[in-house]
Structure 1
Amino acid sequence: MTHPMQEVLDRWKAAFDNHQPDVIAQLYTPDALFQGFGPTVVVGRDAVRAYYEAVDADRRADVTVLHTYTLDDQVAGGFADITFSGADGWEAKVHLSLVLHREYDDWKIRQYHVSRVITQD
Protein backbone atom coordinates (compact mmCIF):
# COMPACT_ATOMS: atom_id res chain seq x y z
CA MET A 1 0.00 0.00 0.00
CA THR A 2 1.31 3.44 -0.94
CA HIS A 3 1.74 5.96 1.86
CA PRO A 4 -0.54 9.03 1.57
CA MET A 5 2.55 11.29 1.24
CA GLN A 6 3.71 9.46 -1.91
CA GLU A 7 0.19 9.37 -3.33
CA VAL A 8 -0.39 13.11 -2.83
CA LEU A 9 3.05 14.08 -4.15
CA ASP A 10 2.55 11.92 -7.25
CA ARG A 11 -0.66 13.85 -8.01
CA TRP A 12 1.00 17.18 -7.12
CA LYS A 13 3.96 16.47 -9.43
CA ALA A 14 1.71 15.52 -12.36
CA ALA A 15 -0.29 18.74 -11.97
CA PHE A 16 2.85 20.86 -11.43
CA ASP A 17 4.67 19.41 -14.47
CA ASN A 18 1.58 20.09 -16.61
CA HIS A 19 1.08 23.61 -15.21
CA GLN A 20 -2.41 22.96 -13.80
CA PRO A 21 -2.84 25.44 -10.92
CA ASP A 22 -6.55 24.60 -10.50
CA VAL A 23 -5.75 20.91 -10.08
CA ILE A 24 -2.93 21.71 -7.65
CA ALA A 25 -5.21 23.94 -5.56
CA GLN A 26 -7.71 21.10 -5.17
CA LEU A 27 -4.99 19.00 -3.51
CA TYR A 28 -5.07 21.41 -0.53
CA THR A 29 -7.57 21.82 2.29
CA PRO A 30 -9.67 25.00 2.03
CA ASP A 31 -7.70 26.52 4.96
CA ALA A 32 -4.26 25.16 4.06
CA LEU A 33 -1.12 26.95 5.25
CA PHE A 34 1.35 27.41 2.39
CA GLN A 35 4.98 28.58 2.48
CA GLY A 36 6.55 28.52 -0.96
CA PHE A 37 9.64 30.39 -2.19
CA GLY A 38 8.29 33.73 -1.02
CA PRO A 39 8.72 35.13 2.49
CA THR A 40 4.99 35.16 3.29
CA VAL A 41 2.83 32.32 4.54
CA VAL A 42 -0.46 32.32 2.68
CA VAL A 43 -3.73 30.61 3.56
CA GLY A 44 -6.27 28.81 1.42
CA ARG A 45 -6.79 27.32 -2.00
CA ASP A 46 -7.16 30.67 -3.77
CA ALA A 47 -3.73 31.76 -2.52
CA VAL A 48 -2.21 28.41 -3.54
CA ARG A 49 -3.79 28.68 -7.00
CA ALA A 50 -2.43 32.24 -7.43
CA TYR A 51 1.04 31.09 -6.39
CA TYR A 52 1.13 28.29 -8.97
CA GLU A 53 -0.43 30.43 -11.72
CA ALA A 54 2.66 32.67 -11.43
CA VAL A 55 5.09 29.75 -11.91
CA ASP A 56 6.60 29.49 -15.40
CA ALA A 57 4.79 26.83 -17.43
CA ASP A 58 8.06 25.08 -18.36
CA ARG A 59 8.96 24.27 -14.74
CA ARG A 60 9.21 20.62 -13.69
CA ALA A 61 9.71 18.90 -10.34
CA ASP A 62 11.79 15.86 -9.45
CA VAL A 63 10.45 14.51 -6.12
CA THR A 64 12.13 12.12 -3.69
CA VAL A 65 10.17 11.19 -0.57
CA LEU A 66 12.58 10.87 2.37
CA HIS A 67 10.44 10.15 5.42
CA THR A 68 6.78 9.55 6.12
CA TYR A 69 4.64 9.26 9.23
CA THR A 70 1.04 8.48 10.08
CA LEU A 71 -0.46 9.76 13.32
CA ASP A 72 -3.85 8.11 12.90
CA ASP A 73 -6.30 7.44 10.08
CA GLN A 74 -6.82 11.21 9.59
CA VAL A 75 -3.31 12.75 9.80
CA ALA A 76 -0.10 11.88 7.95
CA GLY A 77 2.87 13.67 6.49
CA GLY A 78 6.58 13.63 5.92
CA PHE A 79 9.58 15.13 4.23
CA ALA A 80 10.81 15.14 0.64
CA ASP A 81 13.54 16.63 -1.48
CA ILE A 82 12.45 18.38 -4.65
CA THR A 83 14.55 19.71 -7.50
CA PHE A 84 12.67 22.25 -9.57
CA SER A 85 14.02 22.86 -13.06
CA GLY A 86 13.24 24.81 -16.20
CA ALA A 87 13.96 24.43 -19.90
CA ASP A 88 16.42 27.35 -19.66
CA GLY A 89 18.67 25.43 -17.22
CA TRP A 90 17.26 27.10 -14.09
CA GLU A 91 17.32 24.80 -11.06
CA ALA A 92 16.38 25.07 -7.39
CA LYS A 93 16.65 22.37 -4.73
CA VAL A 94 14.32 22.46 -1.73
CA HIS A 95 13.39 20.46 1.32
CA LEU A 96 9.63 20.00 1.60
CA SER A 97 7.55 19.17 4.65
CA LEU A 98 3.87 18.31 4.40
CA VAL A 99 1.07 17.72 6.85
CA LEU A 100 -1.81 15.82 5.30
CA HIS A 101 -5.40 15.53 6.46
CA ARG A 102 -7.88 12.96 5.24
CA GLU A 103 -11.15 14.41 3.96
CA TYR A 104 -13.55 11.52 3.45
CA ASP A 105 -11.59 9.10 1.21
CA ASP A 106 -9.07 11.64 -0.08
CA TRP A 107 -5.87 12.99 1.46
CA LYS A 108 -5.39 16.78 1.23
CA ILE A 109 -2.40 19.00 2.01
CA ARG A 110 -3.06 20.91 5.23
CA GLN A 111 0.40 22.44 5.54
CA TYR A 112 3.12 22.88 2.89
CA HIS A 113 6.55 24.33 3.60
CA VAL A 114 9.63 24.48 1.39
CA SER A 115 13.09 25.49 2.46
CA ARG A 116 15.60 26.30 -0.26
CA VAL A 117 18.82 24.30 -0.16
CA ILE A 118 21.82 26.54 -0.67
CA THR A 119 25.08 24.76 -1.39
CA GLN A 120 28.53 26.25 -1.06
CA ASP A 121 30.73 25.65 -4.11
Structure 2
Amino acid sequence: MSNPMHEVLKHWKAAFDGHQPDIMADLFTPDTLFQGFGPVVLSGRDAVRGYYEAVPGDRSADVTILHTYTIGEQVVGGFADVTFRDTAGWEAAVHMSLVLVRDGSSWRIRQYHVSRVTTEH
Protein backbone atom coordinates (compact mmCIF):
# COMPACT_ATOMS: atom_id res chain seq x y z
CA MET A 1 0.00 0.00 0.00
CA SER A 2 1.41 3.41 -0.90
CA ASN A 3 1.12 5.95 1.88
CA PRO A 4 -1.73 8.43 1.17
CA MET A 5 -0.19 11.18 3.32
CA HIS A 6 1.24 12.91 0.25
CA GLU A 7 -2.14 13.11 -1.50
CA VAL A 8 -4.03 14.28 1.60
CA LEU A 9 -1.49 17.00 2.35
CA LYS A 10 -1.54 18.10 -1.30
CA HIS A 11 -5.32 18.65 -0.97
CA TRP A 12 -4.92 20.23 2.47
CA LYS A 13 -2.35 22.74 1.13
CA ALA A 14 -4.49 23.63 -1.90
CA ALA A 15 -7.55 24.23 0.29
CA PHE A 16 -5.54 26.19 2.88
CA ASP A 17 -3.83 28.37 0.26
CA GLY A 18 -7.19 28.94 -1.43
CA HIS A 19 -8.90 29.79 1.88
CA GLN A 20 -11.61 27.14 1.38
CA PRO A 21 -12.82 26.20 4.89
CA ASP A 22 -15.58 23.87 3.65
CA ILE A 23 -13.12 21.84 1.60
CA MET A 24 -10.68 21.88 4.53
CA ALA A 25 -13.35 20.53 6.88
CA ASP A 26 -14.23 17.74 4.45
CA LEU A 27 -10.65 16.45 4.67
CA PHE A 28 -11.29 15.57 8.34
CA THR A 29 -13.39 12.81 9.92
CA PRO A 30 -16.67 13.83 11.59
CA ASP A 31 -15.12 13.05 15.00
CA THR A 32 -11.66 14.46 14.33
CA LEU A 33 -9.40 15.77 17.10
CA PHE A 34 -7.68 19.00 16.10
CA GLN A 35 -4.95 20.99 17.86
CA GLY A 36 -4.01 24.11 15.94
CA PHE A 37 -2.37 27.30 17.22
CA GLY A 38 -4.96 27.82 19.94
CA PRO A 39 -4.80 26.34 23.45
CA VAL A 40 -8.02 24.32 23.07
CA VAL A 41 -8.29 20.90 21.43
CA LEU A 42 -11.17 21.03 18.96
CA SER A 43 -13.40 18.13 17.98
CA GLY A 44 -15.44 17.60 14.84
CA ARG A 45 -15.68 19.01 11.33
CA ASP A 46 -17.75 22.04 12.34
CA ALA A 47 -15.03 23.12 14.77
CA VAL A 48 -12.37 22.61 12.10
CA ARG A 49 -14.41 24.66 9.61
CA GLY A 50 -14.74 27.46 12.17
CA TYR A 51 -11.02 27.38 12.86
CA TYR A 52 -10.12 27.74 9.18
CA GLU A 53 -12.81 30.38 8.58
CA ALA A 54 -10.96 32.55 11.12
CA VAL A 55 -7.60 32.22 9.30
CA PRO A 56 -6.84 35.35 7.24
CA GLY A 57 -7.33 34.74 3.53
CA ASP A 58 -3.83 35.85 2.52
CA ARG A 59 -2.06 33.00 4.32
CA SER A 60 -0.35 30.12 2.58
CA ALA A 61 1.51 27.01 3.71
CA ASP A 62 4.70 25.32 2.54
CA VAL A 63 4.70 21.63 3.46
CA THR A 64 7.63 19.20 3.68
CA ILE A 65 6.74 15.64 4.64
CA LEU A 66 9.38 14.18 6.93
CA HIS A 67 8.14 10.69 7.79
CA THR A 68 5.16 8.44 7.13
CA TYR A 69 4.08 5.12 8.60
CA THR A 70 1.27 2.62 8.23
CA ILE A 71 -0.73 0.66 10.78
CA GLY A 72 -2.45 -2.08 8.84
CA GLU A 73 -4.67 -1.20 5.90
CA GLN A 74 -6.88 1.39 7.60
CA VAL A 75 -4.56 3.80 9.43
CA VAL A 76 -1.55 5.84 8.39
CA GLY A 77 0.33 8.63 10.06
CA GLY A 78 3.14 11.00 9.53
CA PHE A 79 5.07 14.11 10.38
CA ALA A 80 5.72 17.24 8.35
CA ASP A 81 7.35 20.62 8.69
CA VAL A 82 5.03 23.43 7.66
CA THR A 83 5.76 27.12 7.31
CA PHE A 84 2.73 29.40 7.29
CA ARG A 85 3.15 32.83 5.66
CA ASP A 86 1.11 35.88 4.76
CA THR A 87 1.62 38.71 2.29
CA ALA A 88 2.72 41.15 5.01
CA GLY A 89 5.77 39.05 5.95
CA TRP A 90 4.34 37.15 8.95
CA GLU A 91 5.75 33.64 9.19
CA ALA A 92 5.28 30.71 11.56
CA ALA A 93 7.13 27.40 11.35
CA VAL A 94 5.43 24.36 12.88
CA HIS A 95 5.86 20.64 13.24
CA MET A 96 2.69 18.85 12.13
CA SER A 97 1.60 15.35 13.01
CA LEU A 98 -1.36 13.62 11.40
CA VAL A 99 -3.22 10.35 11.72
CA LEU A 100 -5.33 9.39 8.72
CA VAL A 101 -8.05 6.74 8.51
CA ARG A 102 -9.56 5.08 5.47
CA ASP A 103 -13.11 6.23 4.75
CA GLY A 104 -14.33 4.01 1.90
CA SER A 105 -12.04 4.81 -1.01
CA SER A 106 -10.85 8.08 0.58
CA TRP A 107 -8.55 8.98 3.44
CA ARG A 108 -9.51 11.54 6.08
CA ILE A 109 -7.59 13.25 8.88
CA ARG A 110 -8.58 11.75 12.24
CA GLN A 111 -6.02 13.57 14.36
CA TYR A 112 -4.18 16.82 13.61
CA HIS A 113 -1.60 18.52 15.78
CA VAL A 114 0.79 21.40 15.18
CA SER A 115 3.42 22.81 17.50
CA ARG A 116 5.36 25.99 16.82
CA VAL A 117 9.04 25.73 16.17
CA THR A 118 10.92 28.20 18.36
CA THR A 119 14.45 28.64 19.59
CA GLU A 120 13.21 29.24 23.14
CA HIS A 121 13.10 26.43 25.69
Question: Cα offset for 1:23?
Answer: 0.1
Where does structure 1 differ by over 4 angstroms across 4 or more consecutive aligned residues? none
**1:26 maps to which residue?**
26
Looking at structure 1, the residues matched to 114 and 2 of structure 2 have their Cα atoms a distance apart, in angstroms, of 23
**1:110 maps to which residue?**
110
Question: Cα offset for 1:72?
Answer: 1.0
Q: CA RMSD in A?
A: 1.1
Structure-2-length-normalised TM-score: 0.96
Please, which runs of 5 or more residues in structure 1 have no aligned partner?
none
Question: Cα offset for 1:42?
Answer: 0.5
Looking at structure 1, the residues matched to 32 and 87 of structure 2 have their Cα atoms a distance apart, in angstroms, of 30
**1:59 maps to which residue?**
59
Deviations 1:21-67 (CA, angstroms, capped at 9, x unpaired): 00000000000000000000010000000000000000000000000
Structure-1-length-normalised TM-score: 0.96
**1:10 maps to which residue?**
10
Looking at structure 2, the residues matched to 19 and 2 of structure 1 have their Cα atoms a distance apart, in angstroms, of 28
How many residue pairs align between the two structures?
120
Q: Which amino acid aligns with 1:90?
A: W
Residues 68-107 of structure 1 mapped to structure 2, 5 A cutoff: 68-107=68-107
Looking at structure 1, the residues matched to 92 and 29 of structure 2 have their Cα atoms a distance apart, in angstroms, of 26
Quick one: percent identity of the two aligned structures? 68
